[in-house]
């Protein structure tokens, strides 16, 4: 592959990430006002359960699906090819959004949660896009490719909530129909831009189930060297998801904000994530290294999470912009670290482990945060701050062991280069 071809592939992956993530992010500024401020209906007051608890379960089912999908989707793409698995999962994702819209129209909470579960399973394919970006090395430096892929994801998080916040005036179901259309565009993009590749492996049904059972992303946890970064990311993403899932609830509870206000705050957050990830993450990594940036970025993020629940509307956009900077710095280091030191175990499987971890923590936080938010949504975000700080402590405790592992890896690379 030439460098020019690699650039085209990266551009395709980035556009796919924008469209896919925009579809994921469309409902986020919509669900909190829908459950908490809209006129009661059979979906938002299912069986007389408190709407905040129902919202928590609704938020949990989607990442639960992502967890299930990410466990095996990335590993399957290692064996069956990136393009084939992407096309199948994108089709399933579009169907999931259509079923979600139907559930909203018929006010079915069970149908809504099951449709969100199906959508999440299929959207475990974001790990495939990151694996494709990582595999462009050495034509495109690994950190640069992954950070650009993340910038595209952040762009989707920017575009999606804005569209969702302003489409909601046409009805909540319209938001999910628009998301399905975005995923349809992503499907066409993959079909025409990602090349077919020969995969010289047995693709029988026996091999299929063997991959799911024996070669899924969770099998990486048997490798003791990967455990320190896993536990760091587990705690870090638990704290991050506490913020992601419940800052819209905080907006409704304390600022009486509508979907449009939440959308614009999300713009401030994600715009800074895009800028930092696009232009600064690779440069910062080259100067300071992954571990130091995870420690500094995580520490600053924890402080920002402590401040955020107590500010007024006049400072919302400033603090959200700062949070976006810190997230971009810490987030960008984890996939780079995993790809660089553990990519030989399978890039799809490694990226699947990262996204699986993010999803399982999202399920935990969404399930526990709903009841806690009845007391106060501030407590959920402050809990997130404590979890992020705990992740920094884990990184500091295991830092010496990880740096020794990194040093050994670099020595092996140098030996191979000399040979």
List where CATH 1.20.1250.20 sits in the chain.
Answer: 1-195+211-215, 217-418
- Distance (Å, rounded) from C-alpha 86 to C-alpha 122? 9
Phi-psi region of 357 (alpha: psi -120 to 50; beta: other; left: phi over 0): alpha
How far apart, in Å, are the Cα atoms of 230 and each of 149, 354, 395? 21, 8, 10
Question: Model-level pTM greater than 0.85?
Answer: no
Per-residue pLDDT of the chain (419 residues; tens, 9 = 90+): 677 777 877 877 787 777 767 766 777 678 888 888 888 899 999 998 988 888 888 877 887 887 787 777 766 777 777 788 888 888 998 999 999 999 999 999 999 999 989 988 888 777 777 777 777 777 787 777 877 887 887 788 778 777 777 788 888 888 889 888 888 887 887 787 777 665 545 555 546 556 556 666 777 888 888 888 999 999 999 999 999 889 989 998 999 988 788 878 888 998 898 889 888 988 898 899 889 999 999 999 999 999 999 999 999 999 999 999 999 999 888 888 888 888 777 776 787 788 778 878 887 888 888 888 888 999 999 999 999 999 999 999 988 777 776 666 655 544 544 44
Backbone φ, ψ for residue 133 (5° rounding)? -60, -45
CA 51 to chain centre: 25
- Provide the CATH number for the domain formed by 217-418 in this structure: 1.20.1250.20
Which residues touch 49 (CB under 8 Å, ≥6 apart)?
A: none
Rounded to whole angstroms, how far apart are CA atoms 112 and 65? Answer: 13
Domain boundaries 1-195+211-215, corresponding CATH code: 1.20.1250.20
Give the pLDDT of residue 416.
42
Return the pLDDT at 215: 60
Residue 138 makes CB contacts below 8 A (sequence gap 6+) with none
Mean pLDDT of the chain: 82
pLDDT at 419: 46
**In the prediction, which pLDDT does 238 show?**
95
Please report the pLDDT score of residue 415 as a whole number: 53
DSSP 392-407: HHHHHHHHHHHHHHHH
Helix axes 3-25, 172-193, angle to 10 degrees: 160
Task: Give per-residue pLDDT as tens, 124-178.
Answer: 777 777 777 777 777 787 777 877 887 887 788 778 777 777 788 888 888 889 8
């Amino acid at each position: 592959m030439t460098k020019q071809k690699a650039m085209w592939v990266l551009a395709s992956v980035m556009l796919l990430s924008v469209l896919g993530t925009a579809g994921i992010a469309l409902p986020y500024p919509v669900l909190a006002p829908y459950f908490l401020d809209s006129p009661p209906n059979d979906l938002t007051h299912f069986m007389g359960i408190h709407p905040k608890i129902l919202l928590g379960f609704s938020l949990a089912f989607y990442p639960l699906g992502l967890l299930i999908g990410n466990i095996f989707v990335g590993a399957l793409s290692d064996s069956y090819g990136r393009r084939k698995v992407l096309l199948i999962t994108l089709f399933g994702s579009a169907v999931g959004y259509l079923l979600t819209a139907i559930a909203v129209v018929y006010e079915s909470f069970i149908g809504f949660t099951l449709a969100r579960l199906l959508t999440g399973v299929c959207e475990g394919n974001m790990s495939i896009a990151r694996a494709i970006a990582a595999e462009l090395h050495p034509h495109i430096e690994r950190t640069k490719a992954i950070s650009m892929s993340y910038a595209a994801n952040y762009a989707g998080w920017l575009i999606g909530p804005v569209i969702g916040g302003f489409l909601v005036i046409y009805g909540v179901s319209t938001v999910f129909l628009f998301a399905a259309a975005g995923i349809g565009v992503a499907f066409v993009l993959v079909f025409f831009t990602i090349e077919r590749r020969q995969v010289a492996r047995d693709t029988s049904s026996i091999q299929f189930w063997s991959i799911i059972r024996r070669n899924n992303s969770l099998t990486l946890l048997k490798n003791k060297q990967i455990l320190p970064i896993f536990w760091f990311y587990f705690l870090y993403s638990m704290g991050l998801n506490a913020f992601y899932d419940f800052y819209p609830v905080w907006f409704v509870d304390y600022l009486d904000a509508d979907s449009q206000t939440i959308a614009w705050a999300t713009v401030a957050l994600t715009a800074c994530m895009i800028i930092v990830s696009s232009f600064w993450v690779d440069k910062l990594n080259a100067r300071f290294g992954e571990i130091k940036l995870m420690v500094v970025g995580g520490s600053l993020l924890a402080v920002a999470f402590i401040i955020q629940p107590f500010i007024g509307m006049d400072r919302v956009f400033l603090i959200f912009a700062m949070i976006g900077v810190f997230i971009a710095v810490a987030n960008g280091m984890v996939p780079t670290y995993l790809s660089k030191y553990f990519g030989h175990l399978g890039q799809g499987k490694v990226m699947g482990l990262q996204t699986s971890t993010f999803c399982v923590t999202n399920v935990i936080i969404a399930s526990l945060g709903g009841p806690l938010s009845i007391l106060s949504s501030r407590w959920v975000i402050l809990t997130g701050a404590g979890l992020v700080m705990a992740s920094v402590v884990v990184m500091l405790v295991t830092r010496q062991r990880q740096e020794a592992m990194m040093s050994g890896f670099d020595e092996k690379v140098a030996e191979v280069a000399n040979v």
